[in-house]
């Protein structure tokens, strides 16, 4: 039946206790604005979760970004349920602190790293990216994050590291959607190493200048703007460098429908729907449908990664 869209007050997006934790969690890379000096226990103003970042117009599109309610109220995050509204209602169950990421595989530096440690020395920037879901809807999102390349370089991947595999948290108590087997949990995604090192590929910790709402993949997610949204894995707890192409969640679930590459491509349809056009969420009445662009509009930057590849075969 119809559901009410939860009216999202900024303070509801991340529970106050998480705001406070963030302060210690993200201290370092994520310096907090002046209001952080409020005594603990005082009700958290929205600014509590603000991040310090600089805008990066070079990597931003000029289209107007979607509203926060749209970006944080319309999510595919099956760990919290398979409809679009469930994640915003359920994701408060996820505890984003403490949070650590295991780094393994073909790299010189491996081990478990606290998120705070991973963020050290990464300058945050805001990039307004297009986001194209494989279901043929799209958003424009002001992410806050840092290039994945800077993070991966820290681990000194070896020459055998041809791919990078990412894994989402598996914990059905915090992610009740994992109690049903709609996908093989945990969710896994992967990139070729050159895709991972591309300057457009972003590790995201924030949205609209604040820490990422849980339903958008807190505390750490990937954003690969030229690929369908499912490649941009959320709530990452593990990074593996490997010699072989990893088996990724949607590719395992339906290999004919979801390829490993999943580059946005208006010429290659999904077997059950067209990818030639998309509907922009929140666009004016009868003006939402627009043509889908090759590589989601990022062809000039990334098409060369796929030189000579048959993109129909490697979809």
Partner 1 sequence: MNLTQRYRYLYKPLLFAAGVAPLAWMICGALQLFGASLGADPVKKLEHECGKTALNFLLLTLSVTPVRELTGLPQLLRLRRMLGLFAFFYAVVHFSAYLVLDLELNFRLLGADIVKRPYITIGFSALLLLLPLALTSTNGMMRRLGRRWQSLHRLIYPIAALAVWHFYWQVKRDVREPLLYVGILALLLAYRLLRWRARGAPRAAPATAPAAQLTSRSGSATAPERT
CA distance 132 to 283: 14
Give the one residue of 24, 158, 180, 267 binding partner 1; rule: CB under 8 A.
180
Contact between residue 267 and residue 229 where contact means Cβ atoms under 8 Å apart: no
Question: Candidates 35-43, 73-81, 216-224, 231-239 — which segment interacts with partner 1 by CB under 8 A?
Answer: 73-81
Kindly state the tokens that stand for 267: 């010429």
Binding window for partner 1 (CB under 8 A); candidates: 77-85, 106-114, 200-208, 295-303: 77-85
Exactly one of 123, 254, 255, 309 binds partner 1 (CB under 8 A); that residue is: 254
CB nearer partner 1, residue 5 or residue 153: 5
Q: With contact defined as beta carbons under 8 Å apart, do 161 and 86 qualify?
A: no
Query: In this structure, are residues 296 and 137 in contact, taking their beta carbons and an 8 Å threshold?
Result: no
CB of 111 to partner 1, least distance (A): 35
H helical segments located in the chain: 10-13, 16-25, 68-73, 86-90, 115-119, 148-154, 193-196, 249-253, 299-302
First to last CA, the chain: 35
* 41 or 291: CB nearest partner 1: 291
**According to CB under 8 A, which one of 158, 289, 309, 314 is a site residue for partner 1?**
289
Residue 183 binds partner 1, judged by CB under 8 A: yes
User: CA-CA distances (angstroms) from residue 5 to 8, 84, 89, 113, 283?
Assistant: 8, 10, 10, 37, 17
CB of 166 to partner 1, least distance (A): 20
Q: Which stretch binds partner 1 (CB under 8 A): 45-53, 160-168, 176-184, 201-209?
A: 176-184
Place of tokens 């429908």: 257
The candidate with the shortest Cα–Cα distance to 130, out of 312, 281, 287, is: 281
Q: Can you tell me which of 3, 24, 35, 247 binds partner 1, judged by CB under 8 A?
A: 3
Exactly one of 288, 293, 303, 305 binds partner 1 (CB under 8 A); that residue is 288
**Could you give the 3-state DSSP secondary structure of residue 76?**
coil
* Residue 287 makes contact with partner 1 by CB under 8 A: yes
Minimum distance between the CB of residue 175 and partner 1, rounded to whole angstroms? 15
- Within residues 40-59, the interface with partner 1 by CB under 8 A covers none
Contacts to partner 1 from residues 102-161, by CB under 8 A: 135, 137
User: Which of 15, 16, 282, 294 touches partner 1 by CB under 8 A?
Assistant: 282
Q: Does 273 bind partner 1 (CB under 8 A)?
A: yes
What is each CA distance from 22 to 16, 129, 228, 238, 277, in whole angstroms? 10, 25, 30, 20, 39
Phi, psi of 13 (to 5 degrees): -65, -45
3-state secondary structure of 203: strand
Nearer to partner 1, 4 or 313 (CB): 4
Cα-to-chain-centroid distance, residue 109: 24
Nearest distance in Å: CB 174, partner 1: 20
> Which range of residues in 14-22, 79-87, 158-166, 294-302 is near partner 1 by CB under 8 A?
79-87
Binding site for partner 1 (CB under 8 A): 1-5, 69-70, 73-74, 78, 82, 84-85, 135, 137, 180, 182-183, 253-254, 269, 272-274, 276-277, 279, 281-282, 285-289
């Amino acid at each position: 039946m119809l559901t009410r869209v939860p009216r999202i007050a900024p303070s509801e997006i991340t529970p106050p206790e998480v705001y406070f934790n963030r302060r210690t969690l993200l201290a370092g890379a994520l310096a907090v604005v002046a209001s952080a000096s409020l005594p603990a226990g005082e009700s958290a103003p929205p600014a509590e979760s603000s991040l310090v970042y600089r805008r990066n117009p070079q990597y931003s599109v000029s289209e107007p970004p979607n509203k926060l309610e749209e970006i944080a109220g319309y999510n595919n995050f099956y760990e919290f349920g398979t409809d679009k509204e469930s994640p915003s209602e359920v994701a408060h169950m996820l505890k984003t602190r403490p949070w650590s990421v295991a780094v393994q595989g073909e790299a010189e530096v491996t081990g478990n790293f606290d998120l705070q440690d991973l963020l050290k020395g990464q300058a945050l920037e805001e990039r307004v990216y297009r986001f194209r879901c494989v279901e043929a809807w799209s958003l424009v999102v002001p992410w806050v994050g840092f290039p994945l390349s800077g993070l991966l370089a820290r681990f000194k991947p070896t020459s055998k590291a041809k791919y990078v595999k990412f894994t989402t948290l598996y914990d059905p108590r915090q992610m009740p959607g994992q109690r049903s087997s709609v996908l093989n949990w945990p969710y896994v995604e992967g990139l070729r190493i050159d895709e991972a090192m591309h300057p457009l590929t972003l590790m995201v910790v924030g949205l609209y200048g604040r820490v990422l709402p849980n339903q958008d993949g807190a505390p750490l997610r990937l954003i690969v703007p030229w690929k369908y949204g499912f490649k941009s894995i959320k709530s990452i707890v593990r990074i593996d460098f490997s010699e072989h192409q990893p088996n990724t969640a949607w590719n395992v679930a339906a290999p004919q429908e979801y390829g490993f590459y999943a580059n946005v491509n208006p010429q290659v349809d999904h077997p059950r729907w067209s990818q030639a056009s998309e509907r922009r969420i929140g666009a004016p009445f009868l003006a939402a449908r627009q043509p889908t662009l090759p590589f989601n509009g990022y062809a000039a930057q990334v098409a060369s990664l796929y030189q000579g590849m048959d993109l129909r075969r490697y979809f």
